[in-house]
Structure 1
Amino acid sequence: MNNKFPKVIAIAAVSGGGKTTIATGLKTKLDQSEVLSFDAYDFEGPDDMIEWIENGCTPDEWNLTPLIRDIKKLLDEPLDYIILDFPFAYLHNETRDFIDYAVFIDTPLDIALARRIIRDYQNRSSKEILADLENYMLRGKSGYISMLNSVKPNSDLIVDGTLPKSKIVNNIIANIKT
């Protein structure tokens, strides 16, 4: 077993806010690092995301056992950093104690929505895009706002999501090394 544990850095943002891009950028700049991405898992969680959002977006409603198992495995590896592409920062009770530093990428909601549409709808019809936009306006936006009101203030560092990727990555590295 390692005498020195890796530092666990959680990168949070709204959907389309840049979590994966920044986590990947950090991995390329930080030697001896690994990334675990929330989206790579098939977690047991709320069946209806909109209902979950409307009921307060409680992170503990997600069973994150597979992620926790993988964090524990990596803690025994000869790593300096474990980077979590993870939406909840410190708010999930079972993952909180593993996280050493939480970053929130503060991306304006219009930019995050545009990125999500570009990412998720490249091969979809305009009708599907319009339906998603209508759903966002009617119900989904409240989830984004909930994150801004809960995850953002529970983070150690808030970075401007409109900055270039390299500046965001360098800002995070400067802060975690102090």
Structure 2
Amino acid sequence: MKIIGIAGGTASGKTTIANKLGDLSNQFGQVNIIRLDDYYLDHPELDLEERRKINYDHPNAFDTDLLVKHIGDLNKNQSIDVPEYDFVNHARKISTKKVQPSKVLIIEGILVLAIKEICDLLDIKIFVDTPDDIRFIRRLSRDVKKRNRTLDNVIDQYLTTVRPMHKVFVEPSKENADLIIPEGGHNSIAIEMVFKTIIDLLNK
């Protein structure tokens, strides 16, 4: 199994690129996509207000051990049950998603290249580089419309954790990338290049 990591700042276009690559490559063989966000640690011991205050942009917010184990299981040709995260309630859902082994696995998330245990497992490392102002506008729109956040809540979270953690962890992880894609999912040339690489991996 070959593993592709797609990292970048919040709302940079990581998911769009992962989905486009998955759709293209699935014409030739199965490609799985796993979101790092679904591996947020669960905190049932905290109430909703306390969970809202967690720094979700720090590497410690993720269940890295579980993700690494799941990657190992897929490499052993074993299926896994991927957790699903509820961003409205800041908690894992009861339901999980069954993922079967495949030739190619895409892992996308802001800290995929910043968490060493994950980065070391990647065969291809991609960083999506989108301007800060565009990313903030996208995040603001997404969180208000889809995650039941208020304008003030989004701005406060962005200033207190998202932006500082981007500077400390996400931006420096760009140095680990094999390929940097400007403008996210709108960069059709870069997506085509990665797609051809995936096809080569599938045909080996």
Q: TM-score, normalised by structure 2?
A: 0.66
Q: Distance in 2 between matches of 1:140 and 1:92?
A: 16
What SS class does the counterpart of residue 144 from structure 1 fall into? helix
**1:22-101 paired onto structure 2 within 5 Å:** 22-30=17-25, 31-43=29-41, 48-49=54-55, 57=58, 59=59, 62-77=62-77, 79-101=102-124
- Contact 1:8–1:100, Cα closer than 8 Å, also in 2: yes
**Aligned with residue 13 of structure 2, among 6, 12, 18:** 18
**Letter of the structure 2 residue corresponding to residue 39 of structure 1:** D
- For structure 2, the residue ranges without an aligned partner over 5 or more in a row are 44-50, 78-100
Residues 167 and 116 (structure 1), Cα distance of their counterparts in 2 relative to 1, 3 Å cut: farther
Question: Which is richer in strand?
Answer: 2
CA deviations on 1:78-112 (whole Å, 9 max, x unpaired) are: 62211001322343232233211110000111111
Closer, same or farther: CA 122–141 of 1 in aligned 2, 3 Å:
same
- Where does residue 136 of structure 2 map in the other structure? 113
Other-structure match for 2:87: none
Taking the aligned partners of 1:25 and 1:43, their CA distance within structure 2 comes to 28
- Structure 1 residues 10 and 139: CA distance shift in structure 2, 3 A: closer
Structure 1 residue 136 and structure 2 residue 153: aligned?
A: no
Alignment of 1:129-168 (within 5 A): 129-137=151-159, 140-161=162-183, 164=186, 166-168=188-190
3-state SS of paired residue (1:133): helix
Change (3 A) 1:60 1:96: farther
For structure 1, list consecutive stretches of 5 or more residues without a partner in the other structure: 1-5
From 195, 198, 201, the equivalent of 1:173 is 195
- Count matched residues: 165
Residues 70 and 165 of structure 1: is their aligned pair in 2 closer, same or farther, counting only changes over 3 Å? farther
Q: Rate the CA distance shift 1:94–1:135 in 2: closer, same or farther, 3 A.
A: closer
Name the structure 2 match of 1:3.
Answer: none
Asked if structure 2 preserves the Cα contact closer than 8 Å seen for 1:109 and 1:144, the reply is: no
Cα contact 1:14–1:87 (8 A) shared by 2:
yes
Question: Alignment partner of 2:102: what SS?
Answer: coil
